[in-house]
Amino acid sequence: MKAYFNASLFGKEKYLKDYKAIIKIIHELGHTAYADHVMNRDFRDVQKYSPDQHAKDFQKIRKTIEKSDVMIIEATYPSIGVGHTMAMALQMYKNVLVLYRSPETPHGLLIGDPDRLLSIKKYNPDNHEKLKATIETFLKKAQKRLLKIRLNLMIDKEQEEYLDFVSQTKGVSKSDFIRQLIDKSSSGK
């Protein structure tokens, strides 16, 4: 699988060792990690970009997310840019793993987000084996949940109105709601 790794450029000064450990684990597990946009850049250089450079950078990052199967984020150091790329990945129906160091806690909006594609896990940078197991479990689950099968479904007007209502009140897409129903039903096998 291809994993888009993202983390704060500002946080890189403090958490570079953790970033490298996560990328190394992705490779050890036999997967590809797209991480150059974090590992080969400095926030001071990015701050000097012209609007055109920022636009090109955005398009390059977007294309890399599109060709990735999943996104893995080290989120101990908060970043609006990382949050934005995470939102893009979720909109593209990519599974996202948000890792954060103990004893920090992620933003409450992340904790409260019901998106089935979003996994949030605390890790201890000194426990390499547990971190590796967390990433491996996520990647195995994501492999099974890649959205690659299209289904055309005919419904009547009343069913459509119900799906519209549920979508608006729960804040999930109609497709996600139907997938959630299937997941609930299949977990009771």
Average pLDDT over residues 95-100: 95
- How many other β-carbons are positioned within 10 Å of the β-carbon of residue 153? 8
Q: Does residue 171 register a pLDDT over 90?
A: no
* Cα–Cα nearest to 57, from 93, 9, 99: 9
Q: Does residue 63 register a pLDDT over 80?
A: yes
For residues 33 and 5, the answer to whether their CB atoms sit within 8 Å is: yes
Dist CA 69 CA 117 (whole Å)? 12
Residue 24, H or E segment: helix 12-28
Residue that wins the pLDDT comparison between 19 and 57: 19
Q: Sketch the domain layout of the chain as residue ranges.
A: 2-145, 157-187
Q: Does residue 189 register a pLDDT over 60?
A: no
Please state the pTM of the whole predicted model: 0.79
Q: Does the 2-145 domain belong in CATH 3.20.20.70?
A: no
Confidence of residue 113 (pLDDT cuts 50, 70, 90): low
Q: Does residue 32 register a pLDDT over 80?
A: yes
- Strands ordered across the beta sheet of 32-34: 32-34, 2-7, 70-74, 95-101, 118-123
Give the amino acid at 46: V
| % residues pLDDT > 90 (the chain) | 61
Average pLDDT of the residues of the chain = 89
Enumerate residues 6+ apart whose C-beta is below 8 A from 59.
none
Give the pLDDT score at 157.
94
Three-state secondary-structure class, residue 150: coil
* Cα–Cα nearest to 7, from 30, 34, 44, 28: 34
Three-state secondary-structure class, residue 96: strand
Helices (H) and strands (E) in the chain, counts: 9, 5
Average pLDDT over residues 137-141: 95
| Radius of gyration over every alpha carbon of the chain, rounded to an integer in angstroms | 18
Give the pLDDT score at 51.
87
Give the pLDDT score at 126.
92
Confidence of residue 59 (pLDDT cuts 50, 70, 90): very high
